[in-house]
Chain A
């Protein structure tokens, strides 16, 4: 690392690996200082919001699930909440609890994938979890086993792990029986132990120094570590209902990305995801998770993005322990879904996807036809904050790191946000640049 670098150069990481979707990164350096960073997202756009127009209000859970194979439940749930809101219906009680249970399955699957297969290899010094398994088979098996419990929970309730078939506006098609859930409870307890071991393991990694100060944004509820709905809060004082998302956050297009960039209205970039949830909602974690966080040294907001792996592990504990609680309290409702009759209106829905706040908005005609749809996924909200962090991280290390070492560190940093590029490229909104017509 003593290699002297020429003062002006471009570092390019062509294809980022171990992220979901396709992206790369350009860094410009002038006179020995970083002058620009662009997270290039070249995943082709898939235009979901455009082809949702004209479809029926019962369809977004199945259609928007296909935006992302890693967090389809998040899309299904945000879609359901938004459409139910448009139709003036609230789904609560046991059906709401069952939705949380399904969602915990997705958190477990997604965080398990990220912690063990995508992120840990960076700290352990391997190109992949499969290579890591040659030296540490038990570790990788533990991660795969946890992930499998998440998948099996998704399958039990949803029918399958990727694009579950059992979610509908208003609830479900088929309700699990208590007898079906009982064996799952035992497996979740085994998963809980594995998650606690995971916290202890990842807390011991050697984390590069980096501290960022972006506002953190997450949903908040008075008595839960919010997953489904709540108010939108930030560490910088934002506190609005989900229906005001549009008034709090705006999206703009940049030439180097097929994903729109989001900013708070005062122009500041911000971060959503595990670090944000943890900063805003830490005391509402399940007691088991709160205790695990404390033993890992996390007693307040965590501002080093590399340490998000510890927070994800803490959220794994939360998801396993909370899933057990939901099963313990489960009483099978009489009906799998409440009726959601169509009516003209606009509805908003937001939930906490594994990667952070996911917002949907639908405008419906009186027969349920979708007139307009807007979807803002977590990764497009984080792009700008990621670029700022990269800027600082690289600028600090330019003098004593060569390009190879720099590129490896950069990739590891990008991975720490668990960016989901498939998610980020299908957003869109008429509002951003049309003047006069069609703006919601």
Chain B
């Protein structure tokens, strides 16, 4: 077992895609495993070491009372807590239920809703405990995950992009899908990090990295209307993967 800092990976309501991204770092996995002590990573190992942990990576959002209590324990046992992905950082796709009536959802899904423990609202980790670093994306990128681990190991601040997808897209030299093909695209209001993946695959950005810090959907809305998007569709587009409250999405 390596001697380095201890690492724990925690899961809340999520799809496992972000922690899988860590296992997907095939070329670097054994190297990472050599540099840190993986102390708790249930998806990868049946060996669990008690805390405290130097680094906790947290995937998923808070949807139950039990999880709200568990994240406080995780926080208390962790020196540095990093949220990984849209669920942990912004609520994730399951936060769509914040716009609906949970009782009704339960009855659509379950015959006996009384067995199901669930909160009315889905909330990101930072609504419950202080978070040291937030990684965005649904899923996070391997490069950002490795950069964060490398930076924490070296005791420096990680270098993460802060611009918008639109800027990444222009830098990549892609033709603009919105202007050239009339395809609805959230690039101008979406946080950078994916390298403008969708436009390079000839489709519009659907916002999986969440709103850019200074995102104002205001100016984008007339452009989306001009290419034929109806207002209800624009609202859907703006709030699928990262919005747990209504603030950013009134066209």
Contacts and interface: CB of A to CB of B under 8 A. Distances in A.
Interface in A238-253: 252-253
Contacts of B12: 44
Interface string B24-64: 10110110010000100111111110000000000000011
Interface range for A: 35 or more
Given A50-B97, A159-B201, A18 B46 contact: yes
Contacts of B233: 56
A336 B201 CA distance: 11
A45 B13 CA distance: 8
Contact of A255 (B11, B105, B115): B115
Interface stretch (A26-34, A61-69, A210-218, A277-285): A61-69
Given A18-B45, A148-B26, A253-B110, A69 B67 contact: no
A18 B45 CA distance: 6
Interface in A306-326: none
A162 B139 contact: yes
Contact of A66 (B11, B48, B93, B107): B93
Given A166-B203, A432-B111, A131 B21 contact: no
Contacts of B67: 44
Contacts, number: 186
Given A59-B236, A428-B110, A422 B203 contact: no
Contacts of B15: 66-69, 72, 422
A64 to B, nearest CB: 9
A315 to B, nearest CB: 19
B118 A45 contact: yes
Nearest to A428: B109
Nearest to B112: A253
A147 interface: yes
B47 A128 contact: yes
B138 A66 contact: yes
A47 B198 contact: no
A96 interface: no
Interface residues of B, number: 63
A408 B94 CA distance: 34
A345 B157 CA distance: 53
Contacts of A264: none
Contact of A162 (B17, B44, B109, B115): B17
Interface string B185-220: 000000000100110111100101000000000000
B23 interface: yes
B197 A159 contact: yes
Given A51-B97, A144-B29, A20 B43 contact: yes
B30 A130 contact: yes
Given A17-B46, A18-B43, A165-B197, A433 B111 contact: yes
Contacts of A427: 109
Given A47-B94, A63-B93, A174-B202, A131 B45 contact: yes
Interface in A243-302: 252-253, 255, 258, 260
B105 A50 contact: yes
Contacts of A43: 13
Nearest to B113: A253
Given A117-B44, A130-B33, A137-B30, A46 B198 contact: no
B198 A145 contact: no
Interface in A99-151: 109, 113, 117-118, 121, 127-131, 133, 137, 140-141, 144-145, 147-148, 151
B154 interface: no
23 contacts: A16-B42, A17-B42, A44-B67, A45-B116, A56-B233, A62-B240, A69-B17, A117-B44, A121-B46, A128-B45, A128-B47, A130-B45, A133-B30, A133-B33, A144-B27, A159-B198, A162-B17, A162-B20, A253-B110, A253-B111, A253-B115, A411-B46, A427-B109
Given A147-B26, A165-B197, 5 more contacts: A50-B100, A51-B97, A59-B240, A118-B44, A162-B24
The 8 closest A-B pairs by CB, nearest first: A69-B17, A428-B109, A128-B45, A433-B111, A127-B47, A17-B46, A50-B105, A46-B94
Interface of A: 15-22, 43-51, 55-56, 59, 62-63, 66-70, 72, 109, 113, 117-118, 121, 127-131, 133, 137, 140-141, 144-145, 147-148, 151, 159-163, 165-166, 168, 173-174, 252-253, 255, 258, 260, 336, 411, 422, 427-430, 432-434
